[in-house]
């Protein structure tokens, strides 16, 4: 909850006075040609009005009119492991934060310790997505923008989160399994191929592509910078526009 | 995220001008005794400065100085079943909301559907408290005040949540088992005594009293209104004070 301090009002009063006193003095001088009178009226009025300005600011601090909320939303990155969700989500998060917006970042793996009993079987994964969806929706409802990145391989789980959220922006990180595997420096795909991981999307279970996502990022063809821009432009056009 | 609209600045400019023009005209009149000059200077200066005031407001909209965040906190009501946690938490929540604060309400039972696999055995209950604590802390971190009511019978679970939160206010709803049982219109205590419920705090498991809670509400002796006031006074004094 933001509020404006007394000091802010004092500083605004001083800053305003500098403009206004000069304006008054100039007008009085133009009409009377008397520089002494112009200065006297300017300064005397200035002092009186500085106090008045402060009171005026404090009264307006109590008035809500015209104080508008920037709508919050859930930005949901979905895609195969190593499709670049985390990196792109991080960039967009940083960009929004830099713009002074209130934003929270949730990554599938980082959220897991909050629900320590969650496994990696399909039913667990989907439950994890839904639980995290509740978290996203509650933050969104309270005016926080959420940047979430989850493999979230099942359509049903993603649709569940979409229905919880008010403004849901699904971003599909489109990339072939082959390219993801090339990109995978941690060797997860290799482990899955050797059978050390089970239920690995793209290897032994399907990743269900989004049917109608708000945005598709062509990961294999689009540089990181351009992808970040594609997303922030979309947000500015469709959600954050203040008009 | 709040921001101020152009309309707000226009209205502030007009409201300010009404005060300021009169002040200028009165001062010019006092110094010159000429009513026509006073009115001319007042109005002409007024018009010029109304535009200037608008520009001034828009510039200040970009300045963060003196825009302060009211600290958020986690208000955690703990106590035996039917000790009146939910009702009192609801009252405090309504009060904070009425004050224009951003506040979320979490009740132990209402949160359960978010984590559908949670049972009522001690380990489940404690896990539920901890999970909910993560939720509280994340909301608090994002500037949302949280009013939470959970039986939360274990000290360890409550301390866990305390450590997650930045400003944790533990409110112990102190009441004897006998009085809670009298208050219990839903008949949960009776069911627990008949063995239909297991792990019921106060009947077949202990409720661990807080060692050093921020507030103790003497439920059996304090009327609801007075209890609400005790809590809001505490908050105003220790957390919400804007100075």
pLDDT attached to residue A242: 53
Every domain of chain B and the residues it spans:
6-61, 74-240
Please say if the pLDDT value at position B219 is more than 50.
Answer: yes
pLDDT in tens, B160-210: 999 999 999 999 999 999 999 999 999 999 999 999 988 999 998 999 999
Please say if the pLDDT value at position A194 is more than 70.
Answer: yes
A32 vs B116, residue with greater confidence: A32
pLDDT in tens, A206-242: 999 999 999 999 999 999 999 999 999 999 999 887 5
For the residues A184-197, what does the mean pLDDT come to? 92
Residues constituting chain B: 243
A113 vs A97, residue with greater confidence: A97
pLDDT attached to residue A68: 75
pLDDT attached to residue B2: 62
Answer yes or no: pTM beyond 0.90. no
Q: Which of residues 133-152 of A touch B (CB under 8 A)?
A: 134-135, 138-139, 141-144
- Write the DSSP symbol of residue B167: S
Please say if the pLDDT value at position B46 is more than 50.
Answer: yes
pLDDT in tens, B224-238: 999 999 999 999 999
pLDDT attached to residue B166: 95
Element (H, E) at B215: strand B215-218
Which residues of B are less than 8 Å from A11 in CB distance? 65-66
pLDDT attached to residue A243: 44
pLDDT in tens, B58-89: 888 878 777 777 889 999 999 999 999 999 99
**CB atoms A142 and B142 under 8 Å:** yes
B74-240 belongs to which homologous superfamily?
Answer: P-loop containing nucleotide triphosphate hydrolases (3.40.50.300)
* Angstroms from A127 CA to nearest CA on chain B: 9
User: In chain B, what percentage of residues exceed pLDDT 90?
Assistant: 55
Q: Which of B5, B24, B143 sits opposite A45 (nearest CB)?
A: B24
* Angstroms from A163 CA to nearest CA on chain B: 14
B152 is annotated as an active-site residue: yes
For the residues A80-102, what does the mean pLDDT come to? 94
Residue A11 at interface with chain B, using a CB cutoff of 8 Å: yes
Long-range contacts of B203-211 (CB under 8 A, 24+ apart): B203/B177, B205/B122, B205/B153, B206/B153, B207/B79, B207/B80, B207/B151, B207/B153, B208/B153, B208/B154, B208/B155, B209/B172, B209/B174, B210/B78, B210/B155, B210/B158, B210/B170, B210/B172, B211/B155
Please say if the pLDDT value at position A171 is more than 90.
Answer: yes
How far apart (Å, rounded) are the C-alpha atoms in residues A221 and A71?
Answer: 32
What's the count of helices (H) and strands (E) in chain B, helices before strands? 9, 7
pLDDT attached to residue A106: 95
Residue A21 at interface with chain B, using a CB cutoff of 8 Å: no
pLDDT in tens, A62-78: 787 777 778 899 999 99
């Amino acid at each position: 909850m933001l509020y404006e301090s007394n000091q802010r009002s004092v500083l605004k009063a001083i800053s305003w006075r500098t403009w206004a006193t000069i304006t008054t003095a100039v007008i009085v001088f133009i009409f009377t040609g008397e520089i002494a009178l112009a200065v006297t009226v300017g300064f005397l009025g200035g002092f009186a009005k500085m106090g008045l300005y402060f009171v005026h600011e404090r009264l307006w601090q109590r008035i809500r009119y015209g104080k508008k909320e920037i709508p919050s939303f859930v930005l949901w990155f979905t895609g195969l492991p190593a499709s670049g969700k985390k990196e792109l989500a991080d960039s967009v998060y940083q960009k929004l934060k830099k713009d002074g917006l209130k934003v929270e970042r949730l990554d599938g793996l980082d959220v897991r310790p909050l629900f320590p009993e969650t496994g990696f079987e399909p039913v667990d994964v989907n439950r994890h997505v839904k639980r995290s969806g509740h978290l996203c929706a509650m933050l969104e409802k309270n005016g926080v923008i959420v940047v979430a990145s989850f493999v979230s391989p099942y359509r049903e789980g993603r649709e569940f989160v979409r229905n919880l959220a008010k403004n849901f922006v699904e971003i599909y990180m489109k990339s072939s399994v082959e390219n993801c595997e090339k990109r995978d420096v941690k060797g997860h795909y290799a482990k899955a191929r050797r059978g050390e991981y089970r239920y690995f999307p793209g290897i032994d279970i399907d990743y269900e592509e989004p049917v109608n996502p708000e945005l598709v990022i062509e990961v294999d063809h689009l540089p990181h910078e351009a992808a970040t821009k594609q997303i922030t432009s979309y947000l500015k056009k469709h959600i954050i526009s203040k008009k």
